[in-house]
């Protein structure tokens, strides 16, 4: 039963992660308004928390459930999946940094100003994150079917 709950939490957190990033992408439109700026900050925090839940539930499945650490640690697709997840996390730093820089403006009741160039960069970064997130289930599916085993 615990294995099923861990798998469920892992899948649910992945869906939540994708949904939050999609929502963030939809809300980030220039020019901003106060309500959307506040929402983007809250959604970005929830996105980070869901990424942590994906990582924690995945680690639980690696250590205690599934096929065991030996299988995963000797699978090239697992390493690719983990590396891709880390790359997505690194990409998410840019939007988070932009949103966190809005705090002073928002506390003063002012709409944050974002240049067109930076806005485009944030949008393209989110789109790349979404694209890369779509590759993770493919890697997981292949890995679960025995592909990627080293040696």
pLDDT given at position 144: 86
- Angstrom CA distances, 142 to 11, 78, 114, 120, 138, stand at 16, 10, 41, 34, 6
- CA–CA separation, 148 and 145 (whole Å): 9
The torsion angles phi and psi of 88, rounded to 5 degrees, stand at -60, -40
Q: What average pLDDT does the segment 46-60 reach?
A: 96
Is the pLDDT reported for residue 151 higher than 80?
A: no
Is the pLDDT reported for residue 118 higher than 80?
A: yes
């Amino acid at each position: 039963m615990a294995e099923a709950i861990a798998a469920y939490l892992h899948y649910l957190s992945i869906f939540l992660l994708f949904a939050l990033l999609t929502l963030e992408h939809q809300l980030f439109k220039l020019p901003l308004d106060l309500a959307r700026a506040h929402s983007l900050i809250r959604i970005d925090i929830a996105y980070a928390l869901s990424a942590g839940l994906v990582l924690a539930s995945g680690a639980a499945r690696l250590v205690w459930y599934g096929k065991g650490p030996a299988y995963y640690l000797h699978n090239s697709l697992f390493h690719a999946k983990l590396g891709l997840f880390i790359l997505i996390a690194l990409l998410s730093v840019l939007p988070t940094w932009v949103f966190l820089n809005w705090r002073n403006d928002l506390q003063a009741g002012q709409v944050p100003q974002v240049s067109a160039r930076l806005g485009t960069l944030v949008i393209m970064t989110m789109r790349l994150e979404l694209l890369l997130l779509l590759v993770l289930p493919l890697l997981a599916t292949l890995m679960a079917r025995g592909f990627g085993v080293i040696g």
